[in-house]
Amino acid sequence: MIPAPRLPVEQRLYVPSSGEASDVELLPAGDVTEGVLRVGGTVRRPHQPQSYAVADYLDWLEDAGFEGSPRFLGRDPSGRDVLTFLPGDCAGAMPEHWVQSEDLLVSVARLVRRLHAVSAGFVPAAHPFPPRPLPVAHEEQDGLVCHLDVTPQNVVVRRGLAVGLVDFDLAGPATGFKDSFNTAMHWVPLRHPGDSWPGWETLDPFRRLRVFADAYGWTEEERRRLPEFGAHATLLSYHRMEHRARNLGGGWARMWAEGAGGRIERRRAWLEANGSRLIRALTD
């Protein structure tokens, strides 16, 4: 496929079309970014330090024929990022009952697998991703740029199946295993049972993790090291979140004050305590 000619992302200006100003909706607030709007068939988000790195990645995905991500259209006259709106449903802050569907879980795993396949070969050049806080020497890293925040609120669902990913704010180089573990953590979900969302208490995380693993295609080796990898990744995310809460404030500080740290720590302990049961569920 020959890609359409495009200006470099930092030169791309979005000229609002007449009439779209009358079709405006405030999108459900996430934890950090405020004031995300749908305007006609577009989304307006505040411009951020990582916006151009993300925009280059979205261009790459578009050229690779990936349909499941927004297109970066440029910045509007007020400087906000403009992206295409992906029609469908996203989960609310407290994921609804329909989010529990196993068919949906399978489709999420497959969508993320496909994202990883099409992301291979993308090398950030003009706009590097800002470094993550607290780089840790032994964090796995093979340079595969991926989403890294595939929560139920960031997946677009049509007819019960995952068709799109939004909110690439945390995208950056990592590994496919890291991004898929992170996705499973949000979607199985992997949490201490005392921290279940209301209505999710009776779901079997071991079964759902196996369903995810088979649909994504984790290798035997990945299945065996998942609990240790997950506990380590969870410890890292505890320190990163504490760092962001302290240094960035805003939504990060609010989440921390509302007990996010305790939840992450209980998740880590749960992963550690259930290591052999998780491996059995993944390999038997």
Q: Is 236 in the site for ligand ATP (CB under 6 A)?
A: no
Q: Is 154 in the site for Mg ion (CB under 5 A)?
A: yes
| Nearer residue to ligand ATP within complex by CB, 27 or 235 | 27
Question: Which residue among 90, 105, 190, 278 contacts ligand ATP (CB under 6 A)?
Answer: 90
Q: Could you tell me which residues come within 8 angstroms of residue 50 by beta carbon, excluding any fewer than 6 positions away?
A: 129, 130, 169, 171, 172
Residue 278 in contact with residue 226, Cβ under 8 Å?
yes
Q: Considering only the C-alpha atoms of the chain, give the largest distance between any 2 of them, rounded to a whole number of Å.
A: 60
Question: Which residue among 9, 30, 39, 208 contacts Mg ion (CB under 5 A)?
Answer: 30
Among Mg ion, ligand ATP, none, the one that 56 touches (CB under a kind-dependent 5 to 8 A) is none
- H helix or E strand, kind and range, residue 43: strand 42-45
| The Cα angle at residue 60 between residues 248 and 48, in degrees rounded to 5 | 20
Q: Is 111 in the site for ligand ATP (CB under 6 A)?
A: no
Q: Which stretch binds Mg ion (CB under 5 A): 116-124, 165-173, 175-183, 250-258?
A: 165-173
Q: CB-side exposure of 74: number of CA atoms within 13 Å?
A: 12
CA quadruple 61, 208, 31, 25: dihedral sign:
positive
State the residues that interact with ligand ATP by CB under 6 A: 27-33, 36, 43, 45, 70, 83, 85-86, 90, 153-154, 156, 166-167, 169, 251
State the residues that interact with Mg ion by CB under 5 A: 30, 153-154, 167
